Amino acid sequence: MGEPRRVVVTGVGAVTPLGMDVPSMWSGLLSGRSAIGRIQAFDSTGFPVQIAAEVPAREIEAHFRLPKLRKYADRKVLMAVRSAEEALAHAGFGPEGLDPEGHGTRRNMPDPERFGVSVGTESGRPLLEEVARTYYGYRDHLAAGGTALDRLRQVDPLDFVSTTPHLTSTLLAITVGAQGPNFTCSTACTSSAQALGEAALAIRRGQADVMLAGGTDALVEAFMVTGFALLGALSARNDEPERASRPFDRDRDGFVLGEGAGFMVLEALDHALERGAPILGELVGYGCSSNAYRITDSPPDGRGAFQSMRWAIQDAGLTPSHIGYVNAHGTSTQMNDASETAGIKLALGEHAARCPVSSTKSVMGHLVASCGVVESIICLMTIREGVIPPTMNYDNPDPLCDLDYVPNVARAAHVDYAMTNSFGFGGSNGSLIFGRYTGKGAA
């Protein structure tokens, strides 16, 4: 067998609380503009947590241009389609040939059988109000002499379809005509990082030439906010939302729930060169692991995080000193930030003290299943633009978090390799390394 194929990035797209595309996100990050505010999705009066980082509903609806899919789509699907369209257009695979309803044949698309989709997300969840309405309606139905079977016959089958975790990857494959590998990764906050890594492996193995890979999540609703709040995971700084997410700061009190989506077009280098695609960078390393510790807590010694970073560095054929920037998982919880700091020290050794680390969750919250791909795009932008986004609200150093967190102001830096970390509830860990591409076809 020959050498594994190199995997490059030819397109990126993102929908985040900072804006509906990658340029809006990037400018917001560099300026330190917070997208965190009082919850708009529901009336949070009386809730212990009343803040989040949301994508305005009107923006999502305004940018969704495929009405024929609307009956299947919740917020996370709508955001996924929007960010995927941006990534495909960026890569030169456009919607040309489609009418406003999404009918027609796309032009300039890859060979369908060599084109796949990989998505990190979670199952659809009915809103709290819908759960209550269903429960009380069912109870009243039985009280009136009805049967469970009669009630089930009244259920819209699309309600079932819309909760399946692979719905997003299915709809994207239908939308873009991708008949190749189709993956859904559902490992909480690690989901989209693993979706990118598994997509890259499919290309390396020769099973696909192009993979549309990323993730999406939308958890800002009453049930999920309440659940995370009861776990003690969320910041309750309701009176100063823009200062609530403070990764690695001594006074951090939890993460801020966010939402969004991001996608990358990953492509085999030879395929990208053959079609003359602009190459934005290279995905050079992927590692994943499990803490095998607790459901909600990270091990204090950072061993799970260390394992995923170590595998990613080895997979890339690099040494720790090659890493010029780490985009941290950096949730702003006491245990996660300390554990990740310990893991970075183990993985990078002496180089850890010299390597800039920042958490962009400080301004756009925790995007949960989609954080891995969005933060991968940030790594790519850091390499290309020569600027490291800051960790905002870092005011009071924590003795357990003693690395260079690029506090409060963006920093100019030449970075050839950037690593991003994603760590999920349940103990899953994923690390990805992106590198500067300087060969033929470099954008």
Do 147 and 279 have their domain in common? no
Q: Which phi-psi region, left, alpha or beta, contains residue 368 (left: φ > 0; alpha: ψ -120 to 50)?
A: left
Q: Judge whether 329 counts as a catalytic residue.
A: yes
Q: For residue 190, how far is the Cα from the chain centroid? A: 8
Do 108 and 144 have their domain in common? no
Q: Are 302 and 340 in contact (CB under 8 A)?
A: yes
Report d(CA 145, CA 224) in Å as an integer.
Answer: 34
Do 333 and 280 have their domain in common? yes
- Output the pLDDT for position 107: 73
* Two structure tokens written together for 5: 């194929």
Do 144 and 288 have their domain in common? no
With CA atoms as reference, report the closest residue to 428 among 253, 276, 289.
289
Q: Are 109 and 176 in contact (CB under 8 A)?
A: yes
For CA atoms 153, 159, 163, 164, give the dihedral sign: positive
Do 151 and 94 have their domain in common? no
- Please report whether residue 98 resides in a domain: yes
The residue segments making up the domain with residue 149 are 128-161
Do 256 and 148 have their domain in common? no
pLDDT, tens digit, for every residue of 221-252? 998 999 999 999 999 999 999 999 999 999 99
> Exactly one of 185, 189, 288, 371 is catalytic; which is it?
189
- Please report whether residue 150 resides in a domain: yes
The whole-chain average pLDDT of the chain stands at 90
Beta-carbon contacts of 79 under 8 Å, excluding residues fewer than 6 positions away, are 15, 55, 60, 216, 218, 259, 260, 261
> Exactly one of 288, 366, 371, 379 is catalytic; which is it?
366
Q: Are 308 and 288 in contact (CB under 8 A)?
A: yes
- Output the pLDDT for position 4: 83
* Two structure tokens written together for 376: 């991968």
Do 169 and 279 have their domain in common? yes
- Output the pLDDT for position 339: 97
Domain boundary among 136, 161, 186: 161
Domain tally, the chain: 2
Q: Judge whether 189 counts as a catalytic residue.
A: yes
> Exactly one of 288, 329, 355, 401 is catalytic; which is it?
329
Report d(CA 100, CA 94) in Å as an integer.
Answer: 14
Residue with structure tokens 């949301």? 54
pLDDT, tens digit, for every residue of 303-321? 999 999 999 999 999 999 9
pLDDT, tens digit, for every residue of 84-99? 999 999 999 976 655 5
